[in-house]
Structure 1
Amino acid sequence: MKTKAVRLYGVNDLRLEEFELPELRDDEILARVVTDSVCMSTHKLAMQGTSHKRVRHDLAKEPVMVGHEFCGVIEKVGKKWQGRFKEGSKFAIQPALNYQGTLWAPGYSYQYIGGDATYVIIPPEVMEMNCLLDYQGDNFFMGSLAEPVSCIVGAFHAQYHTSPGSYVHEMGIKEGGSLALLAGVGPMGLGAIDYALHNPRKPRYIVVTDIDEARLSRAQELLSPAEAQRLGITLHYVNTRDLPDPVDHLVSLNGGKKFDDVFVFAPVRALVEMADRLLGHDGCLNFFAGPTDPAFSAQLNFYDVHYESHHLVGTSGGNTEDMIESLEMMSRGLLNPVFMITHVGGLNAVPDTVIHLDKIPGGKKLIYTHKKLDLVAITDFAERGKTDPFYAELARICAKHGNLWSREAEEYLLQHAPDI
């Protein structure tokens, strides 16, 4: 079977190609991809090429399919898996396989599986590691968002605290404690606010910072302090750009106390050092942002590590349990990460989007892999619609749903957008 896919051959060498997939083996599964959400991690993969930790081979000789936040339909099941998986069922994938101690992952390490493709062959290790997950949603885009949400879930689970006189680590954010999310109104920051508000282990107080007033305003509309208050949580959004002493101001908002948990969503040295200064006794700093510079570093106060029991954690992706939790909370309506999506495009838009992702404003860029579409911001649909009836209708549909993407918008796109 032929597939069309975007493959990486070297640093920023992304090519949209059509080629034959190999014959399906008994221990493999053939799948049709419908959506992929472009991740900043794929941008970093393109920047680093063969030197990336998840790349297995020389990319010039064995290029890899990119994209790891994808959702689709199982087309054909090899004999080994026929009692476990059904043709025609929807799926999502946890790309962090943790297979035999390797960093192998779809979207980074394989020639024939990645999210930016029309059809893929799922290798046996995905099933062996229970990373091919059943998806029951009535749309595809939420299945693509399950992976980034699982990264947030995993980060919250990785936090830990201790009790006086005990060496037992209590995992998770401090229940009833205070939480600071720095540079926290990007797509992953918004997801973290949503999870902090709606997961069973809730903080008492949340402060979210950024230096972009427009993004802060959008966050307040989507995840309002009033909604947080209804849930028993005090939520503040703060623009720290012009504050003479951001740490003093944020601490004053928390009743003069420093924070139990602090997350950093941008790889900026000054931000990491601010997070360190915000930590209270037994505070846990989560460096969530993945830097592209392998030498990235910042100063930490080791006096406070010793006397104030400060600790530091970092996670790169979630695990299968985190992904299952994400899918379950989404299916129950407890999480609604659709606000992460700000742009929509087709497979043809992937190479340019991946290479320039750090310069494209907004949140998640959602790709429909069987379609040929420019990458367009949802907020630009109406302008495009002045000359293109397709975008005029998408603008009308999105306006019905609070200018957010929706099942109705997806169904319209799948029916009316040109095929790749």
Structure 2
Amino acid sequence: MKTRAVRLYGKKDLRLDEFELPEITADEILVEVVSDSICMSSYKAAVLASDHKRVPDDIAEYPIIIGHEMAGNIVQVGKTWQDQFKVGEKFSMQPALNYKGSMDSPGYSYRYCGGAATYVIMPKEVMELGCLLPYQGKAYYEASLAEPMSCIIGAFHASYHTSMGSYEHRMGIEPGGKMAILAGAGPMGLGAIDYALNCERRPGLIVVSDVDEKRLKRARSLFSEASAAEKGIRLEFVNTKGIEDVPAYLKKIAGGDGFDDVFVFAPVRPVVEQGDQILGKDGCLNFFAGPTDTKFSAACNFYNVHYAATHIVGTTGGNTADMIESLRLTEQGRINPAVMVTHVGGLDSAGEATLTLPDAPAGKKLVYTGINMPMTAIEDFTELAKENPKFTALAEITERNNGLWNLEAEEYLLRHWKA
């Protein structure tokens, strides 16, 4: 079986190759990858190469396939797994394996398993750990985005609260509480808003801050205060640019006594410190954004840690249960991961899009591995239609869906773009 894949050979050395996959063994599964969304973690792996903890030392000779937010179809099942998996089933995958203490992970460590490819081989450990997940939905992109959504879900579950005199940690956000999502109008922040509005354990107040008015405008168009109010949630968006005392302003919105749960979606010291300063009694700050600076730090009010029981947690990724929750909520139509997507492209665009991720800030960039197409902003479809009539239909389809990527757009793309 031939595959096309974006492979990592060294620092910033990504190449689109075509090569033959070996025959699968009895304990492996061959899958067709249809979609793969690009994660900042893939950029970090591409830049660091073998200096990354998950990337092997011998990639110059044995390159690995990048990408880990994949979805597609099962093509061939080894004998070991034929009672559990069937040819033709849709799948998603939880890449955080932690197999027997190893940091090896699809998209970082494997020669034949990564999302930026047309066909890959699932190694036995993926199935042994229950990380090859059946998907019952229709849209492949939704299954790809289940992984980043699971990271958000994991963060919500990792937050915790206490009661005075008790040493028990109550896991999860405060039900009916006050939540702040700082730097929250980016792709992961939008996913967090969607989950907070539609999960079982909901806050009573959500305040979303950012300094980019264009991003805030898009967030308001996706999540209206009126629709949130119908769910019993007060939702407010705040542009903190130009506000002299941001913590005081945000605390005033919360009634003056601070927030129960604060999520920080940017590794920026002032934003982290704002998060610490707006915590109420027993408030939990979740530092979600992963910094590249190994010495990144920010000031913390330890008086409040001691007397107000404020506390800090950090999460990186979700677990398999979070991934399953993400898939089920998506299948039920309760969350819409498409709010994160701003760009769509083919496999030929994946390498460059990965390497330029920090230079071209946007939402999630979605790759369809079976086609060739430049990485294209959804908002540019109308303009591009003047020269390429295939974009006319995509523009019309996405405009009918509030500017969001959707199943109809995916099906049109897969039918009309060349492999």
Aligned length: 419
CA drift at 1:98: 2.2
My pick for the range that moved more, 294-303 or 14-23, is: 294-303
Query: Match for residue 390 of structure 1?
Result: 390
Query: Match for residue 224 of structure 2?
Result: 224
Which 4+ stretches in 1 moved above 6 angstroms? Answer: none
Query: Match for residue 181 of structure 2?
Result: 181
Distance, in Å, in 2 between the alignment partners of 1:44 and 1:296 is 16
Query: Match for residue 68 of structure 1?
Result: 68
String of CA shifts for 1:204-259, please: whole Å, max 9, x gaps: 11100000001101101101111111111111100011000000000001111111
SS of equivalent residue, structure 2 residue 46 = helix
Query: Match for residue 197 of structure 1?
Result: 197
Distance, in Å, in 1 between the alignment partners of 2:143 and 2:132 is 12
Aligned amino acid, residue 219 of structure 1: A
My pick for the range that moved more, 298-307 or 331-340, is: 298-307
Distance, in Å, in 1 between the alignment partners of 2:56 and 2:305 is 37
SS of equivalent residue, structure 2 residue 201 = coil
SS of equivalent residue, structure 2 residue 221 = helix
CA drift at 1:56: 3.5
Write the mapping of 1:397-408 to structure 2, written as runs, cut at 5 A. 397-408=397-408
**Where does structure 1 lack aligned partners over 5 or more consecutive residues?**
none
CA drift at 1:386: 0.2
Query: Match for residue 80 of structure 1?
Result: 80
My pick for the range that moved more, 84-93 or 55-64, is: 55-64
Query: Match for residue 11 of structure 1?
Result: 11
CA drift at 1:72: 0.3
Query: Match for residue 140 of structure 1?
Result: 140
Query: Match for residue 331 of structure 1?
Result: 331
Query: Match for residue 35 of structure 2?
Result: 35
CA drift at 1:362: 2.3
Distance, in Å, in 2 between the alignment partners of 1:54 and 1:262 is 30
Distance, in Å, in 1 between the alignment partners of 2:243 and 2:303 is 26
CA drift at 1:411: 1.0
**Where does structure 2 lack aligned partners over 5 or more consecutive residues?**
none
Query: Match for residue 380 of structure 1?
Result: 380
Distance, in Å, in 2 between the alignment partners of 1:177 and 1:404 is 30
My pick for the range that moved more, 353-362 or 313-322, is: 353-362
Query: Match for residue 253 of structure 2?
Result: 253
String of CA shifts for 1:66-118, please: whole Å, max 9, x gaps: 11111000000001001110001000001111211222211111111111000
Distance, in Å, in 2 between the alignment partners of 1:177 and 1:164 is 17
Distance, in Å, in 1 between the alignment partners of 2:227 and 2:98 is 38
Distance, in Å, in 2 between the alignment partners of 1:300 and 1:63 is 42
My pick for the range that moved more, 49-58 or 338-347, is: 49-58
Distance, in Å, in 2 between the alignment partners of 1:251 and 1:58 is 52
Aligned amino acid, residue 350 of structure 2: V
CA drift at 1:57: 3.4
SS of equivalent residue, structure 1 residue 361 = coil
Write the mapping of 1:200-219 to structure 2, written as runs, cut at 5 A. 200-219=200-219
SS of equivalent residue, structure 2 residue 75 = strand
Distance, in Å, in 2 between the alignment partners of 1:410 and 1:77 is 27
CA drift at 1:418: 1.2
CA drift at 1:58: 3.1
Residues 1:103 and 2:140 are matched in the alignment: no
CA drift at 1:179: 0.6
SS of equivalent residue, structure 1 residue 73 = strand
CA drift at 1:400: 2.1
Distance, in Å, in 1 between the alignment partners of 2:120 and 2:255 is 53
Residues 1:47 and 2:47 are matched in the alignment: yes
Query: Match for residue 89 of structure 1?
Result: 89
Query: Match for residue 235 of structure 2?
Result: 235
String of CA shifts for 1:356-385, please: whole Å, max 9, x gaps: 111223211110001000011011011111
Distance, in Å, in 1 between the alignment partners of 2:100 and 2:227 is 44
Aligned CA RMSD, in angstroms, stands at 1.0
String of CA shifts for 1:3-33, please: whole Å, max 9, x gaps: 1100111221111111111221110000000
SS of equivalent residue, structure 2 residue 145 = helix
Per the normalisation by structure 2, the TM-score is 0.98
What is the identity percentage for the equivalent residue pairs of Structure 1 and Structure 2? 58
CA drift at 1:302: 1.8
My pick for the range that moved more, 162-171 or 405-414, is: 405-414
